[in-house]
A = this chain, B = another copy of it.
Amino acid sequence: MAVTRTTKILTVKDQIADQIRSDIISGDLLPNTKLNEKELAERFGLSRGPIRDVILQLTKEGLLISKNNCGASVNCILEPKLQKLMIKLRREIEVFALEQIKDKLTERDFNALDNILIALQEALENEDYTAVTKIDISFHHYIIEKAGGDELVNIWYPYVMRMRLNYKRIVNTEQCVNEHRAILNALREGNIAQAIKSTKANIK
């Protein structure tokens, strides 16, 4: 059998959600910006129904904050203590994931992760920092999903999103790709301890 390229099918709602997430990450939508259902519906050429679903979803992820009968707005950054807690918890989830996939990674997985890093490098060269952030997330997402499936992704995702809301910019562009390469290399060598160490260094 030839190599099967898995093209992921995205629902309309997923695409809208992705777009709004990008807008928030990129800074186009600043904290406290109010999201108007009607406007969003017109922007995406849809009715308010699906938009409401997306807003509810992003609210659960912590990116938006909703009040009854008052709509949703972009959430603010966390207070430092909560921020620290979330970093700690996210680290533990990622460490758990690494321990789980220790012996499960195939050559196919390494290739997939390699490709992600290539895309990351490219986005960095293009200075497309929104793309950088999304690709960065997708690297971690791949590992989390492999380790614990959707269940684990679902509890992991809110932490990532909230952290991204706090630090909008990738400060150290080179460091970013190097850190991820370190993780991947350690995984390739089967050196989980090092992979964990590198991951902890990357999550901050």
Residues of B within 8 A of A88 (CB): 92
What's the minimum C-beta distance from A59 to chain B, rounded to whole angstroms?
9
In the complex, the answer to whether B151 meets A78 with C-beta atoms within 8 Å is yes
In the complex, the answer to whether B89 meets A85 with C-beta atoms within 8 Å is no
In the complex, the answer to whether B96 meets A154 with C-beta atoms within 8 Å is no
* Nearest opposing residue in chain B for A76, CB measure: B151
Oligomer copy total: 2
Does residue A57 face the partner (Cβ distance < 8 Å to B)?
Answer: yes
Residues of B within 8 A of A11 (CB): 68
Q: List 12 A-B contacts (CB under 8 A).
A: A52-B53, A53-B53, A57-B60, A60-B61, A62-B154, A65-B150, A82-B151, A85-B92, A85-B96, A92-B92, A155-B158, A155-B159
Bound-state Cα–Cα, A150 to B78, Å: 11
Bound-state Cα–Cα, A49 to B93, Å: 35
Chain A binding surface, main DSSP class = helix
Which residues of A line the B interface, CB within 8 A?
11, 49, 52-53, 56-57, 60-62, 65, 68, 78, 81-82, 85-86, 88-89, 92-93, 96, 100, 148, 150-152, 154-155, 158-159
In the complex, the answer to whether B158 meets A154 with C-beta atoms within 8 Å is yes
In the complex, the answer to whether A62 meets B93 with C-beta atoms within 8 Å is no
Bound-state Cα–Cα, A39 to B68, Å: 26
